[in-house]
Amino acid sequence: MVFHLHQTFNIVFCEYAKGGMIYEAMHIFDQMRQQGLSPNVVNYGALIDALCKLGRVDEAMLRCNQMINEGVTPNIIVFTSLVYGLCTVDKWEKADELFSEMLNQGIYPNATFFNTIMRNLCNEGRVMEAQSLVDLMVRLGVRPDVISYNTLIDGYCLAGRMEEAMKLLDVMVSAGLEPDVVAYNTLLHGYCRAGRIYDAFRLFRQMLSNAVTPGVATYNTILHGLFQYGRFSEAKELYLNMIKSGMQLDIYTCNIMLNGLCKNNFLDDAFEMFQSLCSMDSQLDIITFNIMIDALLKSGRKEDAMGMLTAISAHGLVPDVVTYRLVTENLIKEGLLEEFDNLFLAMEKSGCTPNSGMLNAIIRRLLDRGEIMRAGVYLSKIDEKNFSLEASTTSLLLSVFSREEYRHHAKSLPEKFHFLWVLINEHYFK
DNA sequence: ATAGGGTTAG
């Protein structure tokens, strides 16, 4: 009976943790203890993973210590979640320490563990380090699997090194692994990103001849590539063929189509498609709304954009940092600075934290309007969060502060940005 | 009942 109760709690708990509903999960934790049940490694694993995915890595580390104090030993799954969290928030030295600690405790890393680190290295453009991790795996006797190679392929694609990415298909085969649909999708995406649609189609044929069945993600990738390079009629034809073939279209297909229509000046068609999706009760996501809000604001249809904004919650969704970025940028552009300040506060109150891209965009918009003091407030936020300035933000700052009437403002910048002051002075006195 | 890969918005 007690065992059964423990199981029931675990199922509910994991459900919450997986959905990122931390407070609800913690509540279950408390309830379990009240019933005299101690959380086990699965409960802690689920909680730690959820915290790491939300970027709350410090709390995750505390939970891991708490778990150890309660006599529960972390397993490879817990270490994988923690190392994911640490890499993602750029705490690579800590991740390294964790790896040593893990080995000390006699817990052996598996392919999943290494793949997690490789994913983060590749996302940062550090594909060579990911490559050497594969070599390390081999030395440690951990066989790289299909996911290891696919991750590495993506790393090379992201670095624009398509020839090396392609070579990995053969490397996989000689390692006794079959390149799967994800391997091909990754490479197709790489070619499309590089504007090499012809090579993408060539690879697509190669994929078919190797008896790998394309999936909806394959077609979505090509569809997006065609739109991106203005090949509108081919994109439309592909879309119609996808429907005709009876393929189950997904939210990606819908969003790619909506965005493709908007960016090719078919906003009315996009709006119509959006409405028909709504009437069919399709499960839309926040990206759908962001695409529409962006397009409506850019074409001056502010009323419609605000209608979309309010429709978000009616669809059971929550505005994200991109939504807020789109609307705040528009408010600044229109000089509605008080509304902008209020929206920014409302955003923070809702638990949505601005990211580096949003703060950079805000600063640029404020500088454009000569709102130097207000821009300073957001520069301080960038400073606090240890984000960096994007190149376009830096050059705008330099050109603004180079103007006589604004030069004195540069002196009151946070210390981190004093290099701007130095650059300006070098420019003036050389 | 806890961990890893591909496609969409800025």
Tell me, yes or no, whether A68 lies in a domain: yes
Among protein residues, the one whose C-alpha sits closest to the C1' atom of B3 is A77
Nucleotides of B under 7 A from a protein CB: 1-10
pLDDT in tens, A355-377: 999 999 999 999 999 999 999 99
User: Is A122 a domain residue?
Assistant: no
A260 found inside a domain? no
Distance A229 CA to B8 C1' (A): 16
Q: Considering A82, A104, A126, which residue would you say is the last residue of a domain?
A: A104
**Nearest nucleotide (C1') to alpha carbon of A355:** B10
Q: Would residue A23 count as lying in a domain? A: yes
- Token pair 């790998």 is found at A212
Structure tokens at A277: 């999706």
Note the CA–C1' distance, A289 to B1, in angstroms.
Answer: 35
Q: Taking CA A90 as the corner, what is the angle to CA A88 and CA A91, rounded to the nearest 5 degrees? A: 110
What is the per-residue pLDDT for A430?
47
Count: domains in chain A: 2
Name residue, tokens 């994007």.
Answer: A390
Reported as type and span, the H/E element at residue A131 is helix A127-140
- The angle subtended at Cα A182 by Cα A181 and Cα A184, nearest 5°, is 65
Distance, CA of A10 to CA of A266 (rounded, Å): 50
Residue A89 lies in a domain: yes
Q: What is the distance between the alpha carbons of residues A17 and A11, in angstroms, rounded to a whole number?
A: 10
Distance between CA atoms of A169 and A164, rounded to whole angstroms? 9
Q: Which of A104, A132, A167 is the last residue of a domain?
A: A104
A343: containing domain? 320-430
pLDDT digits (tens), chain A, 430 positions:
455 667 777 777 877 887 778 888 888 888 888 888 889 999 999 999 999 998 999 999 999 999 999 999 999 999 999 999 999 998 999 999 999 999 999 999 999 999 999 999 999 999 999 999 999 999 999 999 999 999 999 999 999 999 999 999 999 999 999 999 999 999 999 999 999 999 999 999 999 999 999 999 999 999 999 999 999 999 999 999 999 999 999 999 999 999 999 999 999 999 999 999 999 999 999 999 999 999 999 999 999 999 999 999 999 999 999 999 999 999 999 999 999 999 999 999 998 999 999 999 999 999 999 999 999 999 999 999 989 999 999 999 999 988 877 677 666 676 776 766 666 666 554 4
Residue A45: inside a domain: yes
How far apart are the C-alpha atoms of A190 and A200, rounded to whole Å? 8
Secondary structure element (H or E) that encloses residue A418, with its range: helix A418-429
- B10 C1' – A110 CA distance, angstroms? 36
Name which of A354, A297, A304, A358 is nearest A331 in CA terms. Answer: A297
Say which CATH number the domain at A347 has: 1.25.40.10
Smallest CA–C1' separation from A358: which nucleotide?
Answer: B10
Query: Quick check: A43 and A13 in contact, CB under 8 A?
Result: yes
CA of residue A85 to C1' of nucleotide B4, angstroms? 13
Residue A134 burial (C-beta neighbours within 10 Å; 0-12, 13-18, 19+): buried
CB A226 within 8 A of CB A238: yes
Q: Answer with the one of A59, A85, A104 that is the final residue of a domain.
A: A104
Q: Please report the pLDDT score of residue A15 as a whole number.
A: 78
CA atoms within 13 A on the CB side of A204: 19
Phi, psi of A265 (to 5 degrees): 65, 35
The answer to whether position A264 is within a domain reads: no
Q: Which residue's C-alpha is at the least distance from the C1' of B5?
A: A147
Question: Residues A93-102, buried b or exposed e (16+ Cβ, 10 A)?
Answer: ebbeebbeeb
Angstrom CA distances, A38 to A77, A225, A303, A384, A395, stand at 19, 52, 54, 39, 56
A232-CA/B7-C1' distance, Å: 18
Distance CA A371, CA A375 (A): 6
Q: Give strand letter and number of the nucleotide nearest A113 (CA to C1').
A: B4
The spacing between the Cα labelled CA in A42 and the C1' in B1, in angstroms, equals: 6
Q: What pLDDT does A18 receive?
A: 78
**In this predicted structure, what is the pLDDT of residue A163?**
98
What's the distance, CA A2 to chain centroid? 41
Tell me, yes or no, whether A167 lies in a domain: no
